[in-house]
A = this chain, B = another copy of it.
Amino acid sequence: MEPIRRDALVKAAIAEIGEAGSLDVTVSQIARRAGMSSALAHHYFGSKEQMMVAAMRHILTLFGAEVRGALAMAKTPADRVEAIVRASFSSQNFRAETAAAWLNFYVEAQTSQPTRRLLGVYHRRLRSNLVFAFRPLVADPEQAAETVSALIDGVYLRQVLRSDAMTNAEAIGLILRAVDRLKDTRP
């Protein structure tokens, strides 16, 4: 029972956060969406914070799997960069719902140590993947990685707000063009 319930709660939490656009969702709402009482949610998670951390870990796990999958197919360094960008904006990840949850985790990270840790792990992994991919392409792979990371986060952030949302294809196009410009043409 436990794994089923926890799983249902995590998914309900993400859906609820996405819909509300805020971390201020009540445990009762989440529990109701997951088809149980709030008491049961507390029974399985102990606290709301732990539930939120689990939700975030879930998103990060999906994202990590997608990146790994895309990277496995990449042969050239340029392919690797493209794989990471494409995975970041896969239709799976690049939805108002997920972006909203993401944004709220950033906020949460300012006060919740576990959330901060988790986001740190994601950042380091993304960064190290990008640095590795960029190494044969540019003189300063650290800087290129930093730039692309910021660009990805920035496009996500704007997605949350804008009414005239970008499609994921547009987002990928925008970033890949920027990546193209980052590559050294003058050795």
Contact = CB atoms under 8 A, between A and B. Distances in A.
B147 A153 contact: no
A147 B110 contact: no
Contacts of A160: 106, 110
Interface stretch (A39-47, A50-58, A176-184): A176-184
A95 to B, nearest CB: 14
A65 interface: no
Interface of A: 20-23, 100, 103-104, 106-107, 109-111, 116, 119-120, 123, 143, 146-147, 149-155, 157-158, 160-162, 174, 177-178, 181-182
A73 B147 CA distance: 28
A86 to B, nearest CB: 17
B161 A154 contact: no
Contact of A161 (B106, B157, B181): B106
**Shortest 6 CB-CB contacts between residues of A and residues of B:** A154-B154, A21-B110, A150-B154, A153-B154, A181-B181, A150-B155
A24 B173 CA distance: 37
Contact of A107 (B104, B111, B178): B104
Given A152-B154, A177-B143, A103 B106 contact: yes
Contact of A110 (B22, B146, B153): B22
